[in-house]
Amino acid sequence: MRDNLKDVWENRFEFFRKGLDEMSPECSECSEKEFCAGGARHSFDYDNLRQRMCFKDTEVFECSY
């Protein structure tokens, strides 16, 4: 039996469509979330709902202003 792609997308991947800043308590409170949105998905710790690599205190953010 084959799965319907539309059904799979709409019903099984909702977790991955949510913004990381919505999932992480730390990111949801962050003043930089408008620019960062919780950072990269490949470095997000889904088990502990936190970003492994936060650039907030690095020169990357200092250079963007």
Nearer to ligand SF4, 7 or 29 (CB): 29
Binding flag, residue 44, ligand SF4 (CB under 6 A): no
| CA dist., res. 23 & res. 30, Å (int) | 12
| Shortest Cβ 1–ligand SF4 spacing (Å) | 40
Distance CA 57, CA 41 (A): 19
| Lookup: tokens for 49 | 């709902």
C-alpha–C-alpha distance, residues 65 and 58, integer Å? 13
Nearer to ligand SF4, 10 or 45 (CB): 45
Residues forming the site for ligand SF4 (CB under 6 A): 21, 26-27, 30, 32-33, 36, 38-39, 51, 54-56
